[in-house]
Amino acid sequence: MKNRLCEMFGIDAPIFAFSHCRDVVVEVSKAGGLGVLGVARKGAESLREDLRWIDAHIGGKPYGVDFLNPASFEDAAERKFDFDTGLPQAQRDFVRQMLDDAGVPALPPDEADQIMRKLLGEFNFTPAEGQRMIDIAFEHPIKLIVNALGSPSRALVERAHARGIKVAAMAGSPKHAVRHRDVGCDFVIAVGTEAGGHTGQATSMVLWPRVVDAVAPLPVLGAGGVGRGRQVAAALALGCEGVWCGSVWLKTVESEVTPEIKQRMFEAGPEDAVLTRSVTGKPCRTLRSRFTDAWEQPGAPDTLPAPLQAYLWWSLGRTRVERVRAKEFLTYPVGQIVADMDSETSVRQVVQDMLGELLESKERLDRLLD
Ligand SMILES: Cc1cc2nc3c(=O)[nH]c(=O)nc-3n(C[C@H](O)[C@H](O)[C@H](O)COP(=O)(O)O)c2cc1C
């Protein structure tokens, strides 16, 4: 394929992959697309290690990094956050009771303390923390920076451009997309509600062409519900110049998800990818579980603002659940295409299948419209 985005990065196909897993990033770039490493919840050391590993394995192919950099945040006061007083009693009791009732054992106190400390080292939500992560990324041959929540600062865009690094940002509405364009982004990623992770209300079908029109002639990637070639064809037909996928890589051998989560994803339908605030405090599409269900029940407390809800889930819920592999409480961000994910495959196969089906779609349309 040849288009502006392929030329911009010297890639064979405008298939951009979001992943928290360095193996996926490397495999997508080697397969002719562009892998982008999600930095959220990585500590500085772990980011350094991942980027060094990518540099050693990617064979000179381009790759990028994705930062959360939220526009609004609850300052966790540079590691001074106190889990005992920082999280309200009602929500803490709710999670404890939920797991006690299900017979999921509490963490031994010393283990709990160790986990909290480790957790605080991994959250990087404040501007200072975000800056530190960006500085680390600049020490590596990255070709793209993506801002996940809100627009990047002009200063960041200029700093990146001065080094030949492109900048993009995620948009759930034309208004957000225009803001990204106005700070100097090189392209915009329009994320429909089908997407795994943080997402808005508009479907890809409605959102993509609106964003394309709003920021034209800036290129747009279609995200949310893309897992196969027919969906890539739809994105291109709606005016996008490529796609950005996150969920589909979770079914690969390279992915970071545990066998338990993978199996639950293989059994899930589209209705099992629920939009909930219970995991991060912001609307996030994730695999339905007893934890996400509990917050929907009458009498459940309100979820906390981000990132406090994430602290709550990770510190009091997730660690306790994972320790005993309480499968029915496990959750992981995933989009509605989870419905199409029914067996394990490789990253390379996903890319090849996408391109094969894209060509078939083109031929079908050519026959239809001839
Ligand atoms: C497991 C997972 C984690 C995600 N975490 C982030 C993140 O940290 N930053 C981000 O910009 N997007 C994140 N996303 C969203 C993706 O960037 C992307 O918008 C989305 O996956 C596209 O829709 P799809 O899931 O239908 O492919 C995540 C998605 C998944 C599936």
CATH code assigned at 211: 3.20.20.70
Q: Confirm whether 283 is domain-assigned.
A: yes
| Between 270 and 74, residue with greater pLDDT | 270
Nearest CA residue ID for atom 28, ligand 1: 197
Classify strands 15-19 and 284-287 as parallel, antiparallel or unpaired.
unpaired
223 Cβ closer than 6 Å to some ligand 1 atom: yes
Question: Does 109 reside within a domain?
Answer: yes
What distance in Å separates the CA atoms of residue 256 and residue 277, rounded to the nearest whole number?
23
Asked if 32 and 62 touch (Cβ cutoff 8 Å), the reply is: no
Which of 120, 176, 119, 173 lies closest to 147 in space, CA to CA? 176
Indicate if 179 and 59 belong to the same structural domain.
yes
Verify whether ligand 1 is closer than 6 Å to residue 354 (CB atom): no
Kindly give the number of the ligand 1 atom that is closest to the alpha carbon of 41: 8
Q: Please tell me the distance from the alpha carbon of residue 4 to that of residue 11, in angstroms, as a whole number.
A: 10
For 15, the 3-state DSSP assignment is strand
Pair 146, 164 in one domain = yes
Distance set, CA 105 to CA 17, 118, 296, 323 (Å): 37, 20, 23, 9
**Domain range holding 271?**
83-123+255-329
Assess whether 180 and 133 both reside in one domain: yes
Ligand 1 midpoint to CA 361 (Å): 26
145 and 31 both lie in a single domain: yes
Q: What is the whole-number distance in angstroms between the Cα of residue 272 and the centre of ligand 1?
A: 16
Tell whether 279 is covered by a domain: yes
- Number of other residues whose CB lies within 10 A of the CB of residue 125: 20
Q: Which atom of ligand 1 is nearest to the CA of 148?
A: 11
Residue 234 to residues 205, 227, 314, 341, 363: CA-CA distances in angstroms? 8, 11, 37, 19, 14
Query: Do 69 and 87 sit in the same domain of this protein?
Result: no
Residues 270 and 155 in one domain: no
Nearest CA, atom 4, ligand 1: 197
CA angle 278, 318, 82 (to 5 degrees): 85
Helix or strand (DSSP H, E) at 361: helix 347-369
219/96 same-domain check: no
Q: What is the torsional sign of CA 4, 235, 147, 68?
A: negative
Q: Does residue 338 have its Cβ closer than 6 Å to ligand 1?
A: no
The answer, yes or no, to whether the previous bond of 307 is cis (omega within 30 of 0) is yes
The CA distance from 157 to 153, in Å, is 6
Among protein residues, the one with the nearest Cα to ligand 1's atom 1 is 333
Examine residue 344 and state whether it is found in any structural domain, yes or no: no
Spatial separation of the C-alpha atoms in residues 306 and 285, rounded to whole Å: 15
Per the domain annotation, does 246 fall within a domain?
yes
> Does any ligand 1 atom lie closer than 6 A to the CB of residue 221?
no
- Give the position, in ligand 1's atom list, of the atom nearest the Cα of 248: 27
Do 134 and 274 sit in the same domain of this protein? no
Of 75-79, 251-255, 312-316, the range with the lowest mean pLDDT is 75-79
Whose tokens are 């590993």? That residue is: 53
pLDDT tens-place string over residues 251-278: 999 999 999 999 999 999 999 999 999 9
The reported pLDDT for the residue numbered 75 is: 47
Position 129 scores a pLDDT of 76
Please give the distance, rounded to the nearest whole angstrom, from the Cα atom of residue 181 to the centre of ligand 1.
21
Q: What is the pLDDT of residues 153-190, one digit of tens each?
A: 999 999 999 999 999 999 999 999 999 999 999 999 99
Domain assignment present for 51: yes
Instruction: Specify the ligand 1 atom closest to the Cα of 40.
Output: 8
User: Does residue 242 lie within any of the structural domains?
Assistant: yes
State whether 149 and 105 are in the same domain: no
Residue from 119, 124, 121, 120 nearest 40 by CA: 124
The pLDDT value recorded for residue 183 is 97
CA distance 137 to 64: 9
Question: Ligand 1 center to residue 217 CA distance, Å?
Answer: 25
Greatest distance between any 2 Cα atoms in the chain = 70
Residues with Cβ within 8 Å of residue 326, at least 6 apart in sequence:
99, 102, 104, 320
The band of 115, judged by pLDDT with boundaries at 50, 70 and 90, is confident
DSSP secondary-structure letter at 157?
H
Indicate whether 244 and 262 sit together in one domain: no
Cα torsion angle, 254, 258, 259, 263, sign = negative
Q: Is the C-alpha dihedral spanning 40, 242, 287, 341 positive or negative?
A: negative
Shared domain check, 160 and 11: yes
Tell how far the Cα of 284 is from the centroid of ligand 1, in angstroms: 9
pLDDT of amino acid 81: 65
Q: Do 8 and 154 belong to one domain?
A: yes
Residue bearing the bigger pLDDT, 77 or 39: 39
Ligand 1 centroid to Cα of residue 341, in Å, is 16
* Helix locations, 139-279, DSSP H: 154-162, 174-182, 204-215, 229-237, 259-267
Six token digits for residue 243: 């796609």
In short, whether 40's Cβ falls inside 6 Å of ligand 1 is: yes
**What is the torsion angle, in degrees rounded to the nearest 10, for the CA atoms of residue 228, residue 234, residue 236 and residue 240?**
-100
Counted domains in the chain: 2
pLDDT, position 76: 45
Q: Is residue 284 part of a domain?
A: yes
Is the CB of 350 inside a 6 Å radius of any atom of ligand 1?
A: no
> Is the CB of residue 334 below 6 angstroms from any atom belonging to ligand 1?
yes
